[in-house]
Amino acid sequence: RVDLTSMASPTDLRGARIVDDASASSESPLRDDTAEFIRELRARAEDGGSDEISKTTASAFDFALPVTVTRAPGRLDFMGGIADYSGSLVLQMPIAEACHVAAQTRAAPRGRATLTVVSPIPGSRDANDRAETFTCAMDDLLSLTYDAAREWFARDQKTRWAAYVAGTALVLAKEKGARFQGRSVAMFLRSSVPEGKGVSSSAAVEVASMRALAVLANVTFDGVEGGAELAELCQLCENAVAGAPCGVMDQMTASLGRESRLLALLCSNNTVLGHVRMPRGCKLWGIDSGVRHSNDGESDYGRVRCAAFMFREHLKRTWPEKGIAHLAELDPRWLEVMLVNGALPRRLSGENFLVMYPEGHGDDVTSIDRRVTYDVATCGSHPVMEHRRVALIRDWLAEVADDEAISELVMTQVGNYMYRSHESYGACGLGSDATDKLVRLCEKRGRDGGVFGAKITGGGSGGVACVLTADTDDAERAVGEVCEEYGGKPAVFVGSSPGAVAFGHLSVVIDPSD
């Protein structure tokens, strides 16, 4: 339990009061962003309905009763990226930005339970982008199949975002038997994780939402501290309800990440191999290219993923004795020999592949387009080489003793592999002019400027570039110069925060009676 005396005072929370907490840390004070979230709820309660958001919030919640508060961060993809769906080892850093969710159940008026979700649009966003509220009947939602839910949420672009929130309730009901005792559910979301930047805004929303709903429904999760199953069910929500073909590393980081440590996740079996400390003397940055990326099934990401699974299926059928379950398991040297000798196809059309293998490519979340010719060798080789790069980097970082600073040699080795990963993304067709420019500007500063490596991240095709620097004033100035020369005042991500499991949950009375 957190020592509540170490937390923000009632004055800091505008009069709201924490009545119970289930934080995994016994000594951590209340985070500044969490205190700010609680203050916003308190302001909504005091306002009582001067605008539609406050009016909907006030009618959906009873702020005199406890509200469950959860938090899940976004993530910076240090290494691994798109190789996650091929079973690679990945290294992910939870970032400081996060999604907060407040949730509460109430007696259903007239016996008809509803789900109400309030998610205010940030001030810098166009209010026409999406609706700020979503309401549905709980019975209607929980009776849907995953396919029907995906179609239902896709009908209206303005409320499509609700698939990532309400979809977690559907998954909990189907996979864990959650029923919410026939009560209405209210949820209020506020996320500082920007959308479309490749820092897993959707995973942060899903994990924070599902964890809050699980508390309300008294659902517990299996796996490492319950976080592994939580992450897998959130991935199911994104795949089956939202219709985005993501791997599981984003949700695992949002769930099981630890502040200032890299989550080492083996994606072939979703096993957490540890939390790797970033050695003293180095620092990670995320620089936003300003180019929005998408992971939906029709995007370049979907095409590259589809090609990788086609390549795996061809290998499985051609060499069944190798028992290939994931591309990351392959020996890079063997694969290189097979490609050089012409024993493997470089490209395959969807039509020809389905003639050879009418059962398909073994991936439930992408579909083969018969009209498209896929670069199967490049897209299939990427995760094989990426897995090797990530494993070596993890070993190099782990070998640095706790009381030692990282050497320039190790930073150079790590940085070189970051540049190779970036080049491989581009070869797959997941690069972008914007992120290429950022990486070139980082290379231009080089070791003399304290900049050792840079790469595109996540699903590619824009988003954020991850940069490795020395932890020095010169390196910080170099990052500033990169941003200035790039133009447009790009957002910079620096710092870290705990995952949802480490944060736990709070029970807060927003409007306590005197």
DSSP-assigned letter for residue 189? E
User: In 10 A of CB 294, how many CB atoms?
Assistant: 16
Helix 300-318 vs helix 376-398: crossing angle, to nearest 10: 90
**CB of 486 within 8 A of CB of 17?**
no
74: left (phi over 0), alpha (psi -120 to 50) or beta: beta
What's the Cα-to-Cα distance from 97 to each of 79, 186, 367, 477, rounded to whole Å?
19, 23, 33, 23
Give the whole-angstrom CA distance, residue 81 versus residue 73: 17
- Owner of token pair 């807060």: 508
* Angle formed at CA 329 by CA 263 and CA 414, multiple of 5 degrees: 45
Q: How far apart are the first and last CA of the chain?
A: 26
Give the whole-angstrom CA distance, residue 68 versus residue 166: 16
Active site residue 250: yes
Q: Which of 21, 77, 84, 250 is catalytic?
A: 250
For 413-441, the three-class secondary structure string (H helix, E strand, C coil) is HHHHHHHHHHHHHHHHCCCCHHHHHHHHH
- Owner of token pair 């993530």: 75
DSSP 240-273: IIS-----SHHHHHHHH--TTEEEEEETTTTEEE
Distance of CA 354 to the CA centre of its chain: 32
Q: What are phi and psi of 152, to 5 degrees?
A: -65, -50
Q: Which two tokens stand for residue 174?
A: 């189907």
Give the whole-angstrom CA distance, residue 34 versus residue 508: 11
DSSP 106-121: EPPGGG--EEEEE-PP
Give the whole-angstrom CA distance, residue 218 versus residue 212: 10
Q: Which two tokens stand for residue 105?
A: 């159940």
Q: What are phi and psi of 403, to 5 degrees?
A: -95, 10
In the sheet that holds 282-288, the strands lie side by side as 451-456, 464-470, 282-288, 492-493
Catalytic positions are: 250
